[in-house]
Amino acid sequence: MKTFETESFWINKKNNSCIKKHIIDAPGKSEALIETIYSGISYGTEKIVYTGDVPKSQRELMRCPYQMGDFGSDVKYGYINVGKVIKGSPKYNNKYVYTLFPHQTVYVLNEADLILIPKSIPLQRCLLTANMETAINGMWDTLPSCGDKVLIIGAGIVGFLMAYVLKSIIGIEVLLVDIEKSKKQLAEKFNFNFKTSIPKAYQANIIYECSGNPSMINTLSSHIKDEATICVLSWYGNSISKINFGKEFLSKRVKFIFSQVSKVSHNRSKYWNNYSRRELAIKLLNDNKLDYLIEKDYINFYDLPKFFSGIDKHKKFYCKVVNYKKN
């Protein structure tokens, strides 16, 4: 059987990583050989993996679809990949596809797992698909509607995309809050209502926590309406924070939802599955404004170990693009 050489990014242990070479088999029936053009770094999640902060109780549940190895040991991780099919059936051959494969130069997947990228959407923008899925699932978990007053905490990619999809609802009021003043200029490009702190009198009936900081939840107690919903879209890993549930959270009968994207919200699972939701996410990316969420400075695949070694220096980036062209 014919084989191919490939290279992939591995996290060896806590705060250490490398590029590994290995051999893969040629694609079989109903499979495709894909050459990666770009992959994306999911900053919050991949930082937790790199720093070894995946809770032991969650190591099986939080595996990504094509992960190799285990958390806490050698692991190949990642789930944002745009590639070109270089060997496959006529439907996919020489076409560009989106997949959930980790950072790897060449790989083989079942064609049933490939999503064709529409010609109208630039390849780099498709790297926002995973975060758009998170925003869609957050909407399905909370079912916002006309007249709702919404607060979004954290203007990272998920926070921006959450505001983006919510803004399509007629009659809804959305406030995006982030302590970084520099994000105001970007918010203005989307015509979002942006503040660096929550106005004292502002109260919402739906709140989305997208900051990645669990201590932010305590600041929300004075900004909730009766029977409000707080939807947590962050993954905190091993971070621990004391939350004072004895305040307004109790007396106002607040409902907490932890929205996790690996499963379709029960509110829509009768009509959608993970694959069809992913297709929807890509369709929603057909807007040139979304390119503002993509960093202009790409990182070369072979520089990933260097990038991750200084990952704490990159807190402010939005969508980080990994380019697979050899230097």
DSSP string, 243-309: --TTTHHHHTT-EEEE--TTS--TTTTTT--HHHHHHHHHHTT--GGGGGGB-SS-EEGGGHHHHHH
Same domain, residue pair 253 and 152: yes
What's the domain range around 193?
131-258
Same domain, residue pair 116 and 167: no
- For residue 104, the 8-state DSSP code is B
- Per the structure, the count of domains in the chain is 2
Same domain, residue pair 98 and 71: yes
- Rounded CA-CA distance 138/290 in Å is 19
| Domain-located, residue 165 | yes
Question: Residue 139 — very low, low, confident or very high, per pLDDT cuts 50/70/90?
Answer: very high
Buried b (16+ CB within 10 A) or exposed e, 69-103: eebeeebbbbbbbbbbbebbeeebeebbbbbbbbb
| Domain-located, residue 164 | yes
Question: Residue 316 — very low, low, confident or very high, per pLDDT cuts 50/70/90?
Answer: low
Mean pLDDT over 261-279 rounds to 93
- Rounded CA-CA distance 49/153 in Å is 23
The token duo for 8 is 């992939």
Same domain, residue pair 113 and 150: no
Same domain, residue pair 79 and 192: no
Same domain, residue pair 114 and 44: yes
Predicted confidence (pLDDT) per residue in 23-75, tens digit: 999 999 999 999 999 999 988 788 888 887 777 777 877 788 888 888 878 88
Any idea what the CATH number is for the domain that residue 178 is in?
Answer: 3.40.50.720
Q: How many CB atoms lie within 10 A of CB 276?
A: 13
Identify the bridge partners of residue 165 per DSSP, sorted by sequence position.
none
- Rounded CA-CA distance 95/115 in Å is 10
Mean pLDDT over 1-21 rounds to 88
Instruction: Identify the residue with better confidence: 326 or 173.
Output: 173
Q: Kindly give, in sequence order, each residue whose CB lies less than 8 Å from that of residue 255, ignoring residues fewer than 6 positions away.
A: 227, 228, 229, 230
- Rounded CA-CA distance 213/206 in Å is 18
| Domain-located, residue 278 | no
Question: Residue 321 — very low, low, confident or very high, per pLDDT cuts 50/70/90?
Answer: very high
Same domain, residue pair 178 and 106: no
- Asked which of 210-224, 234-248, 255-269 is least confident by mean pLDDT, the reply is 234-248
Same domain, residue pair 67 and 146: no
| Domain-located, residue 274 | no
Report the percentage of the chain scoring pLDDT > 90: 68
CB contact at 8 A, 96 and 38: no
Report the percentage of the chain scoring pLDDT > 70: 97
Same domain, residue pair 243 and 317: no
Same domain, residue pair 39 and 69: yes
Q: How many CB atoms lie within 10 A of CB 317?
A: 16
Question: Residue 314 — very low, low, confident or very high, per pLDDT cuts 50/70/90?
Answer: low
Residue type, 106: V
| Domain-located, residue 276 | no
| Domain-located, residue 247 | yes
Same domain, residue pair 114 and 161: no
Given a cut of 80, whether residue 159 has pLDDT beyond it is yes
Q: Residue 162: enclosing H or E segment and its boundaries?
A: helix 157-166
Given a cut of 70, whether residue 277 has pLDDT beyond it is yes
| Domain-located, residue 279 | no
Any idea what the CATH number is for the domain that residue 301 is in?
Answer: 3.90.180.10
- Rounded CA-CA distance 225/24 in Å is 55
Question: Residue 238 — very low, low, confident or very high, per pLDDT cuts 50/70/90?
Answer: low
pLDDT, averaged across the chain: 91
| Domain-located, residue 27 | yes
Q: Is the dihedral of CA 187, 141, 78, 276 positive or negative?
A: negative
pLDDT of 327 reads 59
Same domain, residue pair 49 and 148: no
Instruction: Identify the residue with better confidence: 216 or 196.
Output: 196
